[in-house]
Amino acid sequence: RKEKARGSCSPPEPSWEERLANAATPLWRLPYQEQLQVKYESQRKILQTLASRLEELGIDAQKPGGLCCPLQPVVPSPIINGYRNKSTFSVNRGPDGNPKTVGLYVGTGRERNIVCVKANHVENIPSKHKQVAQCYEEFICQSPLDSCILFHKGGHWRELVVRTTRCGHTMAIITFHPQQLGQEALATQKALLREFFTSGPGAACALTSLYFQESTMTRCSHEQSPYQLLHGAPHIFEELLGLRFRISPDAFFQVNTAGAEVLYQALGELCQAAGDTVLLDICCGTGAIGLSLAHQVSKVIGVEVVEKAIEDAEWNAAFNGISNCEFHSGKAEAVLPQLLASWEDARPLVAVVNPSRAGLHYRVVRAIRNCRAIRRLLYISCKPEGEAMRNFLELCCPPDPRKKLAGEPFAPVLAIPFDMFPHTVHCELVLLFTR
């Protein structure tokens, strides 16, 4: 009886909405200033770890507080709620058993306890994204075709990506597993989608672009399976720091536009670029960093793996009347070594790298290290405790002939975290390296 009495006072199970909020935005209950403090502490631990790892390599990197370099306070986001300009929604079984629920995951594939929960209460997702997700769920629920939860078990309807801009543009990208459907059946589904979002209930979303991608993989590039435009304009447009940017379906653009403006202005100061400086923008996406700093430097060279993003970058440069930029399409590990091996330009060369969570390929780090002209490097990382840590050590370690690493090592001199992701534990860390 005592056990029962004690159990009856236990807190109620959190709702599915709360569980999702806790999973997607773990800091959502904290006042914003406390969120910034939590992030500052986590970044401090990362810099302590880096200092320890450098010590193991025989590099005296301990600064006050055991950090590898001074750490500035976290720069806050100008917008705290609904700041995301891109959201990816999954399709899976919901708490009520509906296999056509459109939302975000609670649980993991490894634990086999995934539940897809509607994201209506998630604070970093704007209402427009939630509206499109709700309409997509309405559409697939009335479709006779099943959702594709496991590829080998059939089904068709898969994830939804929504991208919006401050210019009022909304792009929706719907991923569809074709399974054994013929071209006629596929054409029917595309026509039904177009009709739903242009003249049916989905018209309320006022989509400016509707894309459809047939994909038999978890993630598919445009080259592997083209994005098919079903309705509207092929691109959306954003304005940032007085410039206009064209964005393709799969082009990278910082997820927090207002935060990106603050970040890019800070990068301009950290570059310490003189009028004759050449800026090397590695993993440049649509060219936002290079183009926003082009007025400070003599030349910008951008490198990006996504071909459509390079087309956007070139359009963006031309539209904004910027003529001192050149962009190279291809994997950075293939393009950069060729570019830098024959570098004979006497002008100062500053590098900015903004890789995905996978970090930079070793050949990219080696090309940077072995190019004597690069004395200043800005590394932007959304997950500095992950693969980026490996890059930091590669940049700072002593020369190693076995690894063809001949160049003088870099040293971290300043770290500035930017809160691009309020309510989450993530931060965008800018680490300045010099040599």
Residues placed in the known binding site for S-adenosyl-L-methionine:
254, 304, 354
Q: Is 340 exposed, middle or buried (0-12, 13-18, 19+ CB in 10 A)?
A: buried
Q: How many residues does the chain have?
A: 435
The distance from CA 416 to its chain's CA centroid, rounded to whole angstroms, is 18
- 391 contacts 385 by C-beta, under 8 angstroms: no
Give first-to-last CA distance, the chain, whole Å. 71
Spatial separation of the C-alpha atoms in residues 175 and 190, rounded to whole Å:
11
Active-site pick, 382, 396, 397, 427: 382
* Helix, strand or coil, per DSSP, at residue 214: strand
H helix count then E strand count, the chain? 11, 16
Spatial separation of the C-alpha atoms in residues 104 and 117, rounded to whole Å:
5
Residue 161 tokens, joined: 């990506």
Spatial separation of the C-alpha atoms in residues 226 and 222, rounded to whole Å:
4
**Binding site members:** 254, 304, 354
Spatial separation of the C-alpha atoms in residues 366 and 404, rounded to whole Å:
8
Helix axes 387-396 and 362-369, enclosed angle (nearest 10):
30
- Of 299, 292, 302, 242, which is closest to residue 275 (Cα–Cα)? 299
Q: For 201, which DSSP code?
A: G
Q: Is 271 known to be catalytic?
A: no
At 251, give phi and psi (nearest 5°): -80, 140
Torsional sign, CA 133, 167, 379, 32: negative
Spatial separation of the C-alpha atoms in residues 367 and 374, rounded to whole Å:
10
Spatial separation of the C-alpha atoms in residues 178 and 175, rounded to whole Å:
10
Q: For 163, which DSSP code?
A: E
- Of 422, 417, 420, which is closest to residue 69 (Cα–Cα)? 417
Beta-bridge mates of residue 79: none
- The single-letter code of the amino acid at 366 is R
| Active site residue ranges | 382
